[in-house]
Structure formats: C-alpha cells, structure tokens
Chain A
Amino acid sequence: SQQGEEDPQALSIQEGENATMNCSYKTSINNLQWYRQNSGRGLVHLILIRSNEREKHSGRLRVTLDTSKKSSSLLITASRAADTASYFCTAYNNNDMRFGAGTRLTVKP
C-alpha cells in the first residue's frame, strides 16, 4: 500500500520553537501532501510536493522530499498555539492514496 507513516506520533513544544515531523512511504509516488486537522474537523491542505521536487516553502512551512529514502519532512518555524493540531502526510500514486497515523502537535503558549 502507499501509506504515509508519520513520526513522531506526538510532539509537544513551546510557542516560538520549531516543529519537525517526518513521513515515510513505501513505493514510488507522484506527489506527497501534508494536511492538518484540528480536533474533530476536516482536513486543511498545507502543501504538495511533487516527486521531482526536493523542497518547498509556504509561509512558515518548509517541506522536503527525499525520494531515495522515501521520506519527507515538514518543518513549522516559529510555532504558535494555533498550530496545535494533527498533521498527516499522504503519499499519492495514481489510484492509491492513504494516510498514516499522523503526528499530534501541541504548541504550549
């Protein structure tokens, strides 16, 4: 399966610190996407990185992709309490797109 697997499962930091989450997948991909989900709500698309890209930025977010290691990382800089949420990656390949367990990020004010 094309499941993305995030680590760590839970991360607790102070406001202003950086948060790094990792994602690994198993086979070749078209692209990899990161999503955020606040408790009990829908998904918010954060960023998409294609298989031929190595790094993308969006505001305080930085995503890297290493296709040789089949892994990606999401860095949130200067975290805020509002960043508290669960973060998921999905590794997409044609007709297969699944989620890992996610990383639960808690940013303490």
Chain B
Amino acid sequence: GAVVSQHPSWVICKSGTSVKIECRSLDFQATTMFWYRQFPKQSLMLMATSNEGSKATYEQGVEKDKFLINHASLTLSTLTVTSAHPEDSSFYICSASYSRGRGTEAFFGQGTRLTVV
C-alpha cells in the first residue's frame, strides 16, 4: 500500500514558538492532503484540506493564520502551528489521497503529538 510519512512523531515546544509538521507521500503523488486534529479520547476533526499549488480550505473555526498549511509539491504538505500555546497541544494527523484506475484512496501518516509548555 501507499506510504505517508509524517514528521516529527512528537515535539515539545515552548509557548510562543512555532512548530512545523511535515507530511510526505513517499511512493505516490498526492492530489489532496488533509490535516486533522485529535483531542484526548475524541475523534479526529478535519482542520483543512489542501490541493497542490493552491490555498488550503479551512474548516469553520480553524484559524488559518494560526495553522499555516503549505502544499508546495505533490508529495509534501506542511502544517505550521504559529505562536503555539498550551491549548494547541494535541495530536495532529495528515492524510494524502491520490487517484488511480480503481478510484481515489487516502492514506494516513502516523501522527504528531505536540506538547506546548
């Protein structure tokens, strides 16, 4: 199956700093990438959807200036949490989708646990 690599798997940062999370599709070109956030014991919430070369579409309630998404190539999307605060501590997961003969499929990275202290 297709592989999506997310890096880092965990990060601790100080309040006020910015953190960048990378999501790479290793063996396919991803037409669309999705970013999710998960709070403890809750489901994954879609934050934004991004297509290569265009601006990301953010879900209602997600601050686009706070969570910067860049999808500069078909194999890489980044999520930057700017001026992080403790309430931004969460589990962030990306997924990448691509279309092939039998339809469109999506695969997930392993997630990044962000702790802001």
Q: Which of B43, B91, B103 contacts A100 (CB 8 A)?
A: B43
Q: Tell me whether A95 and B51 are in contact in the complex, defined as CB-CB below 8 angstroms, given that A42-B93, A45-B1, A88-B43 are known contacts.
A: yes
- Majority SS at the chain B contact face: strand
Q: Which of A48, A50, A96, A102 contacts B49 (CB 8 A)?
A: A96
Which residues, 18 to 76 on A, are CB-close (under 8 Å) to B? Answer: 30-31, 33, 35, 40-43, 45, 48, 50-51
Smallest Cβ distance from A96 to chain B, in angstroms?
7
Smallest Cβ distance from B25 to chain A, in angstroms?
14
Which residues, 1 to 60 on B, are CB-close (under 8 Å) to A? Answer: 1, 32, 34, 36, 40, 42-46, 49, 51, 57
- Once the chains bind, are A99 and B104 in contact (CB under 8 Å)? no
- Majority SS at the chain A contact face: strand
- Once the chains bind, are A92 and B106 in contact (CB under 8 Å)? yes
What's the Cα separation between A73 and B111 when bound, in Å?
26
- What chain B residues lie within 8 Å of A51 (beta carbons)? 103
Smallest Cβ distance from A85 to chain B, in angstroms?
13
- Identity of the chain A residue whose Cβ is nearest the Cβ of B113 in the assembled complex: A40
- Once the chains bind, are B32 and A95 in contact (CB under 8 Å)? yes
**Does residue A98 face the partner (Cβ distance < 8 Å to B)?**
yes
Chain A contacts to B: CB under 8 angstroms: 30-31, 33, 35, 40-43, 45, 48, 50-51, 88, 90, 92, 94-102
- Identity of the chain B residue whose Cβ is nearest the Cβ of A51 in the assembled complex: B103
- Once the chains bind, are A92 and B104 in contact (CB under 8 Å)? yes
- Once the chains bind, are A42 and B43 in contact (CB under 8 Å)? no
